[in-house]
Each structure stands twice: as structure tokens, then as C-alpha cells.
Amino acid sequence: MPDKKPKTKIEKLEREYIIPLRVQWQKVPRYKRAAKAIKAIKEFLVQHMKIYDRDLKKIKIDQYLNEQVWFRGIRSPPHKIKVKAIKEKDYVRVELVDYPDKLKFKKLRAEKLEKTSKEAKEKKKTLKEKMQESVQGKKEEKTDEDKNIEKEKSKSGEEEMKKLEKAQAKSMKTQAGGKMKKKTQPKRMALAK
């Protein structure tokens, strides 16, 4: 009886393609061209990455690739585009290979913002842990009188912690651009009859 070798599954498959878009978007009216270009990218990758049932929902397009297709507006998408397709299990993630300067800057800015927010969260966790450890260590050694004093201190400590958290939140808002004000329509006066 021949020995059967166990099949190894390829978990991650990466490929680069230059996808021709002009042939596809020329078939539709001008006001639908960019949307057709996105659909053409998905159809191309479904065919070439061997997706079961040719399901377009299993293709996930990167934000920056989408922006590159829509960069010149709905009427004039690019004629061809170079992408990197990464297949993980059933889903395919598609990224842009050559970023133009504007998108490079935008991507770096987003990564920097994400990094600073992670650092702020870690600092907040460590501060809370230190406060809890110090409070627990002091509570074990205190008597009744000391406990009363400790309650007053912990209240003031909690207030200080809240102030610190507010200051951090405020600084994060200013770094991220703050809250956006809702645009409201001006109220019109009713005409007197």
C-alpha cells in the first residue's frame, strides 16, 4: 500500500497583478466608471485567486486602493492599476503596490495616529495598575484611624486621577482634530400673511 503524504495547506498566498481597467469601464456610462473599475478589480481577483462560487464579497479592497481609483473622480478612473493580493483562507485582501506621494503621506499620518493612541492607552493602564497596587498595599497595613485618613486621600487621589484622565483625553482630542461640529441649516423666519 503506498504511503499517503499529508497535504499542506497554503495559509497565505501573495501575488501581484497589473489589472487592466479601461476595457471594463468603457462599457458603462461616464457617471458609473469608477464604480465599474472597483467591480472590475474584484471580478479579476475572483477569477485569478480562485475564489469559491465567484463571490465578490470575499474580496476586501484597501482604503488607499479605493482612494487611488476615485482620485480623478467618477468619470476618469485609471486605465490600469498595480495591486498586491493576499489570500488568507477564503478571503482576499487587496492593497495598492505603488503609492503616490499624497497617499504615502496619508498612510504615514494614520499609522502615527494609531501608534500614539496605543501608547496613550498603555500609559493609562499602567497608571491605573500602579494606583490600585499602592492602594491595596496601604490598606493591608492600616488601622481604623488610618483607614479614615486613607479614604479621604483615596477620594482626592481618585479626583486627581479623573483630572489626569480628562487632561489626557483633551490632549488626544487636540491631536486628532477634536470633535466635528454638526452643520445645521439656518432657521428661516416664517413669512407673515
- Global pTM reads 0.58
| pLDDT-derived band at 166, boundaries 50, 70, 90 | confident
* % of the chain at pLDDT higher than 70: 77
* % of the chain at pLDDT higher than 90: 45
Enumerate the H helices of the chain as residue ranges: 22-25, 33-48, 63-70, 101-141, 144-176
The 10s digit of each residue's pLDDT in 68-117 is 999 999 999 999 999 999 999 889 999 999 888 888 898 899 999 999 99
Residues in a beta bridge with 83: 17, 96
The C-alpha angle 99, 104, 108, rounded to 5 degrees, equals: 145
Helix (H) or strand (E) holding 50: none
Residues in a beta bridge with 84: 16, 95
| pLDDT-derived band at 187, boundaries 50, 70, 90 | confident
* pLDDT at residue 161, rounded to an integer: 80
